[in-house]
Structure 1
């Protein structure tokens, strides 16, 4: 396994008490595989990968558990060592390229700077490498694109530039935080094709975050479903789509519009709203919204049970 996360918990000290953002998250990422993490806003998807990347810097954060990258424990790793690892071994593709890119510097300068930070190359060599990376991610006329500023590129081209930055050191693990959310359907498909190609050519493992199971079906080998800071289901892509076990996963799948057959008059939605992390229900966090709710759901949080397709629900066969 390239990455093993066990019982990861992240909480923040606030004036209203300790807020538990992640509660016992565990998962593995195999070499060359794509793990998809799906869930609504506030489910803990992004917080999970920020913890993996060592990017939770809030002094009020309390992080416990284990995050091992190729056997090396990352929780508690000195900031200097984590910076060496980040970019060289593990790289992140952010959701909004306009916030990931500096508006006052050219695309080429930003990629070259990333190269010079981690590799012993001359400025000329770094510039040549930047052009090659832009060409690899499919940006037309890369020798001209290196001189452009972020605002001079389309949304899809900016996202490709961010991917090029992530590839500067050929990282073994790519973390993609909703990289297609702000893009139209055509550009989404192009970015997914690009990530699949890069996975094959670079051999990188990928953690792919999205709230869209339709997108997830196009790229993930395994899918982990999160709700209110906890993992509620984990399975292979085919297993999850063929036989979802948790009512929340079923509801997410039912909200996807069908591609064939008659179109419904209204798309199905999940009743209610995600719970506040300041006032989580005592039992299953999904219980107030669950169509299969039973009295025992309110007594205790169900553990993640079953293998190789675990789910956190009392209705899962033991």
Structure 2
């Protein structure tokens, strides 16, 4: 098992009380597998993976549970040991490349620094590797691009540079945090191809965070749907799209425009807004927005079922 997360809980102390951003999630990831993590903004997708990466440094954060990478517990690991893993064996593609890159250094310098931090090679060899990486992510003129600063690149090119940096040490585990957000569909397709290529070339395990069910349908082997800090459904891609069991999953799939047949006058939308994590409703967190809720949903918190395809829904348990 490449990655095993058990009962992960992430809370933050605030002036208004304790906010539980992640409430006991568990998942596994095998070598060469792509896990799609989907949900609305604020569902806990990014926070859960930042905890896996050891990138939550807020002194008011409380992280509990177990995160094992290749059998090694990461929670409580000294910062120096985590730094040896991050960028080398475990890498992350951040959502906003403009904030992930340092504006005062060139693209080539930044990628080379990552390589030199983890590999014992000369700077000349590192720069040669940078040029290869930029060519691999389809920069039209890699050598020229190495001397450019982030603000001199388009959004798509900046994202490709961030991907090149993440791939620089051939990571065994890659976390991609919405890497296609705000990109046009042509660039998006190219980035998805790069992710597939990483899996094919290096047999890397990949966690792909997104709110785009269309991307999940193309890329993921298994899918984990999150809502209000918890997992509401998990299963294989085929199971999730052919037989969605949680009302929230069905609502997400229902909001996708159909590819065939007549175009609907209006796409269905999920009513209301996600709840505040400070004031979660009693019972099911999705209950106030759920079209099939019934009385037990207001008082009983559903647990995620066992098995490969499971949903945290009282209706599902009753069925």
For the aligned pair, the TM-score class normalised by the smaller chain equals over 0.9
Tell me the distance in 1 between the aligned counterparts of 2:317 and 2:308: 13
Q: Any idea what the Cα deviations from partners look like across 1:291-314, whole Å, max 9, x if unmatched?
A: 001110011210001411011001
Does residue 260 of structure 1 match 2:263? no
Is residue 2:73 matched to residue 1:73?
Answer: yes
Distance in 1 (CA, whole Å) between partners of 2:294 and 2:79 is 47
Q: Which deviates the most, 97-106 or 217-226?
A: 97-106
Q: TM-score, normalised by structure 2?
A: 0.98
Structure-1 residue corresponding to 2:169: 169
Alignment partner, residue 37 of structure 1: 37
Q: Which residues in structure 2 correspond to 1:20-31 (within 5 Å)? A: 20-31=20-31
TM-aligned CA deviation for residue 282 of structure 1: 1.3
SS at 1:315's partner residue?
helix
Question: Would you identify which runs of 4 or more consecutive aligned residues in structure 1 move more than 4 Å?
Answer: none
Give the match for residue 84 of structure 1. Answer: 84
Alpha-carbon distance, 1:240 to partner? 0.1
The 5 Å alignment of 1:1-318 reads: 1-317=1-317
Q: Distance in 2 between matches of 1:286 and 1:247?
A: 9
Name whichever of 275-284 and 308-317 sits farther off: 308-317
Deviations 1:110-148 (A, max 9, x none): 111111111111111111111011111111111111111
Once the two structures are TM-superposed, the CA of residue 317 in structure 1 deviates from its matched residue by 4.2
CA distance in 2, matches of 1:154, 1:39: 28
Given that residues 96 and 182 in structure 1 are in contact (C-alpha distance below 8 angstroms), is that contact kept between their aligned partners in structure 2?
no
Task: Give the RMSD, CA atoms, in angstroms.
Answer: 0.9
SS of 1:307 mapped into structure 2: coil
Distance 2:16 2:108 in 1: 46
Look up the SS of the partner of 1:170 in the other structure.
coil
Unaligned runs of 5+ in 2: none
- Whole-Å Cα distance in 2 between the matches of residues 306 and 70 of structure 1? 23
Q: Are the structure 2 counterparts of residues 115 and 157 from structure 1 closer, same or farther at C-alpha, using a change threshold of 3 Å?
A: same
* CA deviations over 1:264-305 (Å, ceiling 9, x no partner): 111110001000001001100000000001110011210001
Contact 1:12 1:21 in 2 (8 A): yes
In structure 1, distance between residues paired with 2:104 and 2:261: 50
Structure-2 separation of matches of 1:185 and 1:291:
32
Kept after mapping to 2: 8 A contact 1:38/1:45: yes
CA distance in 2, matches of 1:300, 1:282: 7
Where structure 1 has 5 or more consecutive residues not aligned to the other structure, the ranges are none
Question: If the length of structure 1 is used for normalisation, what is the TM-score?
Answer: 0.98
Work out the number of aligned pairs and report it: 318
Q: Could you say what secondary structure the match of 1:87 adopts?
A: coil
Separation (CA, whole Å) in 1 of partners of 2:15 and 2:149 = 42
| 1:153 shift after superposition | 1.5
